[in-house]
Structure 1
Amino acid sequence: MPRRTATLLTSALLLITMFCVGALLNVPYAEMSPGPTVNTLGSHDGDPVLSVEQKPGRKGRPKEYDTSGHLNMTTVRVTGSEYRMTLFGALSGWVRHDSLVVPHETLYPDDKSAKEVDQENAEEFSASQESAKAAALRELHIPFSTHVIVGSVEKGAPAHHRLHAGDVITAVDGIPVSKAEGVGKVVTQHKPGEKVTFTVIPAAKAKAAQKQGKKPPADDAKKVTVGTRKAPDDGRAVVGIQPAVGHTFPFDIDIKLADIGGPSAGLMFALGIVDKLTRTDLTGGKFVAGTGTIDDQGRVGEIGGIQMKTVGARNKGARYFLTPAGNCAAAAADKPDGLTLVKTSSIKDALGSLKKIRTGRTDELTQCKAH
């Protein structure tokens, strides 16, 4: 066999072998890509994304104004926990603009099952809705009440089956608590192994009262004794709960959006609520999208998958993207053409930027810059 023919045949066999290896060899990575983007001012699956209704038995109804334009929340689509990426798949994802390849454990930590990850995302999504409502009503100067609740209970912890998510905590060891951090301050004064007494209003009774726009009834409070254990990181006493803040709003704000998880839609939900409850048309008919967590005080936090969200927003038609300050550099480093990235640190920032957008003063916007 001539040497040239042998060389070509060897090279072909090597290429075939490399192709087979690349097609069959699994690598520990997952893929993120642009997910659906939904207008919080519009409808989804036939229902309004945001709607306002009066509590049963209460008179009057908050005025809901007409809106225009878009205030789109954005999402990221991720491969499932059982998906096994091939080497070729990873290489393809790394070179594509509309895909992001990340270590599998980034999306699915080894110490959590896929079900636990889904549950955590669902809880974060629910909590983000409550924070969005609180931030919006605070911005509109509409009063509401707050209280400390059990946000979540760790499985197998001393509090498991003793306390339940949604229980309202009024006192710990007889000491009244008005802030979530106050719970931990009392618990950690104990030594691991000692017992703590919680005064709580059961979640079901608290929820029934809140549906009527009433504060959780103090007469329904009961005392629950819970043991403590040593925290694995610093040895302090813990009971295995995550305290959170609950709210009693003067009217129902219904958010209907299924199959979405995580806290990153908080900012856009808050802006959608403000738009519907104020006479001002916030967008002026413009297409604005965005992302970001939000807390009760209206502070905006950074999120994951920012590049995929900007791509998804631009593909849908967005011209402006409200970007958490902490994500600005990463977003600007790979900005889709035709999309203006607006730096946003709070709901006040966002409302100020929307005013500039609807009045045509876009040259005054604080835009994200790549470092």
Structure 2
Amino acid sequence: MSRRISTLLVAFVTLALAVVASFTVRVPLVAMGPGPVFDTLGTVEVPEGSVDDPMGGAGGTASGGGGEGDEDTVARPIVEITGAEPDSTEGVLDMTTVAVHQNLRFADALTLWLDPKQTVVPRDQVFPPDRTQEQVDEQNAQLMVGSENSAAAAAFRHLDLPMVPTVRGIVEGGAADGLLEEGDRILTIDGKKIADSNALVEYVSAKRPGDELDVEFERPATSSGDDGAGPGSGGTEKLEETVKLTPGDPEEGTEPDQGYLGVMVGDLPANGTNVKINLDDSVGGPSAGLMFALAIVDKLSPGELTAGKHIAGTGEIDGEGEVGPIGGIRHKIVAAHDDGATAFLVPADNCAEAMTDPPEGIDLVKVGTLDDAVDALDALGSGREPQTCTTG
């Protein structure tokens, strides 16, 4: 065999192996792009068995996207109001997401890299290398619950509803496990009146592991109670428990020398109005908070917040209504544009990134608070110019 033929044969085998490897070998890269959008004023299919929620609160996110398998499903509002009659709504308030493609082969990564709507980055930039996928999913689920709770608290405050700190979730194995329950309304701790969830967090944060707290609370009576009243019907019983605080767990991001009550708490209206978010468990993270809050405000106030328009947006929100920045803003704007939105609510700190080659035909509205967002929607509905990322 001549040297030329040998060289060509080696080159051909090498090329063949490279092609095979490109379709089989995984690379430590992920691709991010526009993800699904969800109209927070719309409905979603959820498993029929998940409809009954004794608390009716955002602390228990239901699984959605039904239609797969044999399980019966039923349509429920994505933002479901209980304890009050929701006002009718029009238009669209889209929450947006980022789709993350993992476990890529080299050929997949190359194809996605060539797609202008996708961004290919090292996996470690998106997923912490010291955490498993299960830990990441659990953290995202917790962030989603926190986002829902903060959205509800911000909306209720915007509507000037009298509030009471309420248990929204129990940490399994935590100090309050078996003593407090979801839906319990905290009245006092160690005889001190607790005005809201911030006051509760501040009080407990000053305590150490092993400290005991006397917690006085009201528990909504169930249908099996003496008065036959159901949750939200006005029937309650006043109880008191002594709770011994437990230390934090560094693996969970909490401090071992600080005492923890082991509850998630949020502020809920004293009149029994409540919110439940119905979304698929795969939707996680904190960035939907602003849009959840706007949907709650729209459903609990007269008139149409959107004036019938198709609005999208994103942004973390805290219980005071402050809107914070998020990741993947450019992908979310593209997702909203592709879904037909004409305006996108952008957290103020994301404006610079959002203005990097945005799609045409969608206004980028700058918001720093829930009040800003409501004012912006009012301006859009009345034909006035809202504050945008370009106007400052």
Give the TM bin, normalised by the shorter chain. 0.7 to 0.9
Q: Secondary structure at the match of 1:211?
A: coil
C-alpha change, 1:190 and 1:134, in structure 2 (3 Å) is closer
Kept in 2: contact 1:267–1:294 (CA 8 A): yes
**Gaps (5+ residues) in structure 1?**
56-60
Tell me the equivalent position of 1:211: 231
Kept in 2: contact 1:200–1:224 (CA 8 A): no
Count of residues in correspondence between the two structures: 355
Name the CA distance, whole Å, in 2 between partners of 1:19 and 1:8. 16
Name the CA distance, whole Å, in 2 between partners of 1:252 and 1:233. 29
RMSD: 3.9
Cα offset, 1:171, TM superposition:
5.1
Q: Secondary structure at the match of 1:333?
A: coil
C-alpha change, 1:31 and 1:261, in structure 2 (3 Å) is same
Name the CA distance, whole Å, in 2 between partners of 1:203 and 1:114. 36
- Deviation digits for residues 313-351 of structure 1, max 9, x if unmatched? 111111211111222222222422322221111111112
| 1:245 equivalent among 260, 266, 274 | 266
Cα offset, 1:222, TM superposition:
1.0
| 2:149 equivalent among 97, 105, 130 | 130
Tell me the equivalent position of 1:58: none
Q: Secondary structure at the match of 2:355?
A: helix
Tell me the equivalent position of 1:74: 96
- Choose between structure 1 and 2: higher helix proportion: 1
C-alpha change, 1:342 and 1:212, in structure 2 (3 Å) is same
Name the CA distance, whole Å, in 2 between partners of 1:133 and 1:112. 30
Question: Which residue identity lines up with residue 33 of structure 1 in the other structure?
Answer: G
1:124-163 to structure 2, matched below 5 A, reads 124-141=143-160, 143-147=161-165, 149=167, 153=171
Name the CA distance, whole Å, in 1 between partners of 2:185 and 2:302. 35
Name the CA distance, whole Å, in 2 between partners of 1:178 and 1:145. 8
Tell me the equivalent position of 1:49: 78
Question: Which residue identity lines up with residue 258 of structure 1 in the other structure?
Answer: D
Kept in 2: contact 1:26–1:86 (CA 8 A): yes
| 1:99 equivalent among 115, 118, 130 | 118
Name the CA distance, whole Å, in 2 between partners of 1:233 and 1:134. 24
Kept in 2: contact 1:353–1:365 (CA 8 A): yes
Tell me the equivalent position of 2:63: none
Does residue 336 of structure 1 match 2:336?
no
- Deviation digits for residues 222-273 of structure 1, max 9, x if unmatched? 1122354797997743347465334245334444333332222221122122
Name the CA distance, whole Å, in 2 between partners of 1:181 and 1:69. 34
**Gaps (5+ residues) in structure 2?**
46-74
Tell me the equivalent position of 2:330: 307
Cα offset, 1:70, TM superposition:
1.5
Tell me the equivalent position of 2:34: 34
Tell me the equivalent position of 2:212: 196
Q: Secondary structure at the match of 2:245?
A: strand
Cα offset, 1:84, TM superposition:
2.3
Name the CA distance, whole Å, in 1 between partners of 2:220 and 2:28. 43
Name the CA distance, whole Å, in 2 between partners of 1:152 and 1:349. 33
Kept in 2: contact 1:158–1:228 (CA 8 A): no
Kept in 1: contact 2:149–2:266 (CA 8 A): no
Tell me the equivalent position of 1:327: 350
C-alpha change, 1:367 and 1:151, in structure 2 (3 Å) is same
Name the CA distance, whole Å, in 2 between partners of 1:276 and 1:182. 28
Question: Which residue identity lines up with residue 311 of structure 2 in the other structure?
Answer: V
